[in-house]
Amino acid sequence: MKTSAAASESLISVTPECQPEFETNYNRASFLLKHTLHESELFSMSALIELAQRLAAIPDAVYFNIGRLGVDRGWDFSGHSFSAQEALAQIETSDAWMILRRVQREPAYAQVLDTILEEIHQASFREYKEITHSRNMSIILTSPNRITPYHFDADCNYLLQIHGSKQIRVFDGGDRSVVTPQELERFYRGDINAARYHPLLEEKAQRYELKPGLGVHVPVTFPHWVQNYDNVSVSASINFCFNDET
């Protein structure tokens, strides 16, 4: 394995076949992409455990929740008896969903983030430094068979699978039968559980099977939910917000 993810090496694979997806569907539609983060030692389980231990001392740098959740459960911020370190050490059995926030605090991960953003926006023919802000990379670790509930986010996202496999279902945020004006209003007033799931939406879902080396683009306020398979899953979430409507 490589010991680092050098800026001179391509981290996002943009083939002639998939390049039109980056240009045409940037923040307009979900699509599958390829990457090489899973080949870097920076994203090995041992390196990520050490990273989590370092971040645990920083307020709000590590968030997790415990327990089996349904698709329609929403985010649950109820208390739990585990520490972050205990939840991570028992990730195979703890029914946990954990996020290491803003890992670009550390220079090696900042270099990875900058490289990925540059490559994505070159492929999309956009100058990201001029149109985006709040550019972040987070690491998401999930226990076997755990569900990430249906929700949408205010940022543009590229979810890159590093370890394990899972399925993500993405819905068209521009379809007002999927995301209503009322849901958007509640969301932007601060309700992170504003998205309302109902089973009839499933016929409109785009399903993506993610394994190491694959990722998916999720535009702003596109609802999605995730079913992890019978393995520990690790993903990198590359996200950013727009200065103006793009």
Distance CA 154, CA 97 (A): 20
Question: Mean pLDDT across the stretch 64-69?
Answer: 84
Question: Rg of the chain over CA atoms, in angstroms?
Answer: 17
Residues with Cβ within 8 Å of residue 205, at least 6 apart in sequence: 169, 170, 171
| Banded model confidence at residue 204, pLDDT cuts 50, 70, 90 | very high
Residue 244 has pLDDT above 80, yes or no: no
Per-residue CA distances from 233 to 4, 103, 142, 227 (Å): 21, 17, 5, 10
Average pLDDT over residues 55-67: 88
**Antiparallel, parallel or unpaired: β 224-228 and 206-210:** unpaired
Query: Which of 129-133, 181-185, 217-221 has the least mean pLDDT?
Result: 129-133
In the block, tokens 């004006």 appear at 181
Residue-level pLDDT at 187: 96
Percentage of the residues of the chain whose pLDDT score is greater than 70: 93
Mean predicted confidence (pLDDT) in 152-158: 97
CA distance 197 to 195: 7
Please report the pLDDT score of residue 7 as a whole number.
43
Mean pLDDT value of segment 157-165:
99
Where residue 221 falls among pLDDT bands split at 50, 70, 90? very high
Per the DSSP assignment, residues forming a β-bridge with 240 are: 156
DSSP 236: E
Q: What is the DSSP letter of 49?
A: H
User: How does residue 245 score in pLDDT terms, banded at 50, 70 and 90?
Assistant: low
**Which pLDDT score is estimated for 24?**
96
Q: Which structure tokens are listed for 57?
A: 């001392």
What was the pLDDT predicted at 2? Answer: 45
Asked whether residue 45 carries a pLDDT value surpassing 80, the answer given is: yes
User: Quick one: what percent of the chain has pLDDT higher than 90?
Assistant: 77
**What are the tokens at 3?**
């010991």
Q: Give the pLDDT confidence score for residue 84 in this predicted structure.
A: 74
Q: Which of 80-84, 105-109, 190-194 has the lowest mean pLDDT?
A: 80-84
Is the dihedral angle over the CA atoms 185, 190, 196, 197 positive or is it negative?
positive
